[in-house]
C-alpha cells in the first residue's frame, strides 16, 4: 500500500529504465488504483530490454468470483487490459485478511480462467520453522491452493509459450524481522515445492514452474539466492520502492540468466540450470 496514481507511473518508469537487462522477466505490481498509470508509463518502447522484453504489470490480489455483490473487491475480468499477472496468497493477505488455502486456490483458478499469470505465495511462520514443520506447512499450502487446478487438463497449459504459474516462497519469519534466510534454506524449499507439484501431476515433475524467493530481498543479498539452481528469481517487497535496489537486483538476475543459458548450451549440462531469472 505505497504510491499514488500521481507518482506510481514515474517510479515504474524509472525502474524500467534502470533494469533494461536481457534474459530477465520484469513485473511491477502496484496497488489497484495505480494500475492504469503504471501500465501507461511502461508502454514506452524505450523501456524494453535489449532482447525486446517489456516490463509487465501485475495486480496485488484478485477476487475469486468474476462479478457480484463484493463491494471493494476487484475481479479478474476487471483487470483485462490493465495487468498480465496477479499475486495470490501473499503472506500479508493471509495474515490480515485471514485468507485460507482453499480461498486462494479459487483465486488461482479465477486468474487462470481469464488468462492472467499467477504468482502464488507460500511460506511458513517462525514458530513453524523452529518446530521443524516448515516443509510440512508449505506442502500443505501448495496442495491446498492447487489441489483443484487439474494439472492434466485446463489448468496446466501455458500462456503465450510461458508457464502461467509461478510460486514465490516467502519465509514469513525473514520478512522485516531482522532474521535472514539462507540460499540453502530457499533451495531446499524450492525442491520440496517441486516435489509437491510432481505429486499433484504437474508436467516434468514440476520443473517447468518457476520458484522465486521472497524474504526481504535486497541487492546485497540476492546473489546468494540466485546462486542456487533451484531458485529462478525474486518477489521483491520494500526494495521495489528504491530504483537503486531494483537496478542491483535485476543486474544480478541478468548475470544469472546469462550463466544459466550458457550452462544449458554445454553438452551434459544440468537441464534444471536453464531458463531466465525473474
Residue from 240, 219, 189 nearest 60 by CA: 240
pLDDT attached to residue 149: 75
pLDDT attached to residue 265: 85
Q: What's the CATH number of domain 57-263, 3.30.450.20, 3.20.20.70, 3.40.640.10, 3.40.1080.10?
A: 3.20.20.70
Q: What three-state secondary structure class fits 97?
A: helix
Question: What percent of the chain stands above pLDDT 70?
Answer: 91
Active-site residue list: 90, 170
Of residues 239 and 177, more confidently modeled? 239
Mean pLDDT for 113-138 is: 96
Residue 191 CA to chain centroid, in angstroms?
16
Residue in this structure with the C-alpha cell 530504483, named with its chain if needed: 243
Residue from 190, 87, 205, 79 nearest 139 by CA: 190
Q: Cell for 252?
A: 544480478
Mean pLDDT over all residues of the chain? 91
- pLDDT tier for residue 167 given thresholds of 50, 70 and 90: very high
46-60, 187-201, 210-224, 263-277: least confidently modelled range: 263-277
pLDDT attached to residue 51: 96
pLDDT attached to residue 24: 97
Q: pLDDT tens, 223-278?
A: 999 999 999 999 999 999 999 999 999 999 999 999 999 998 876 544 333 333 45
Tell me how far apart the alpha carbons of residues 5 and 87 are, in angstroms, rounded to a whole number.
Answer: 20
Instruction: Report the sign of the C-alpha dihedral through residues 165, 169, 170, 172, in that order.
Output: positive
Question: What percent of the chain stands above pLDDT 90?
Answer: 83
Residue spans of the domains in the chain: they are: 57-263
Are the C-beta atoms of residues 64 and 107 closer than 8 Å to each other? yes
Mean pLDDT for 19-48 is: 98
Q: Which residues contact 177 (CB under 8 A, 6 or more apart)?
A: 126
> ∠164-276-61 over CA atoms, to 5°?
40
Are the C-beta atoms of residues 78 and 86 closer than 8 Å to each other? no
Amino acid at each position: 500500500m505505497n504510491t499514488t496514481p500521481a507518482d506510481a507511473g514515474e517510479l515504474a518508469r524509472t525502474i524500467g529504465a534502470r533494469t533494461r537487462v536481457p534474459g530477465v522477466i520484469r513485473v511491477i505490481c502496484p496497488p489497484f488504483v495505480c494500475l492504469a498509470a503504471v501500465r501507461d508509463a511502461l508502454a514506452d518502447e524505450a523501456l524494453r530490454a535489449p532482447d525486446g522484453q517489456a516490463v509487465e504489470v501485475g495486480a496485488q490480489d484478485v477476487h475469486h468470483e468474476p462479478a457480484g455483490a463484493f463491494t471493494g473487491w476487484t475481479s479478474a475480468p476487471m483487470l483485462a487490459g490493465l495487468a498480465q499477472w496477479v499475486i495470490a496468497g501473499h503472506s500479508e493477505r493471509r495474515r490480515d485478511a485471514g485468507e485460507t488455502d482453499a480461498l486462494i486456490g479459487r483465486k488461482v483458478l479465477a486468474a487462470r480462467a481469464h488468462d492472467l499469470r499467477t504468482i502464488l505465495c507460500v511460506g511458513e511462520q517462525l514458530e513453524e520453522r523452529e518446530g521443524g514443520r516448515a516443509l510440512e506447512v508449505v506442502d500443505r499450502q501448495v496442495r491446498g491452493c492447487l489441489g483443484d487446478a487439474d494439472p492434466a487438463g485446463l489448468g496446466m497449459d501455458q500462456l503465450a509459450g510461458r508457464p502461467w504459474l509461478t510460486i514465490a516462497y516467502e519465509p514469513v519469519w525473514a520478512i522485516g524481522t531482522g532474521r535472514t534466510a539462507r540460499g540453502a534454506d530457499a533451495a531446499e524449499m524450492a525442491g520440496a515445492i517441486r516435489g509437491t507439484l510432481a505429486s499433484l501431476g504437474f508436467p516434468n515433475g514440476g520443473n517447468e514452474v518457476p520458484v522465486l524467493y521472497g524474504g526481504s530481498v535486497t541487492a546485497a543479498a540476492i546473489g546468494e539466492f540466485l546462486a542456487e539452481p533451484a531458485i529462478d528469481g525474486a518477489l521483491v517487497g520494500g526494495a521495489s520502492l528504491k530504483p537503486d535496489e531494483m537496478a542491483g537486483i535485476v543486474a544480478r538476475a541478468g548475470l544469472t540468466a546469462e550463466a544459466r543459458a550458457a550452462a544449458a548450451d554445454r553438452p551434459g549440462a544440468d537441464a534444471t540450470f536453464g531458463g531466465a531469472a525473474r
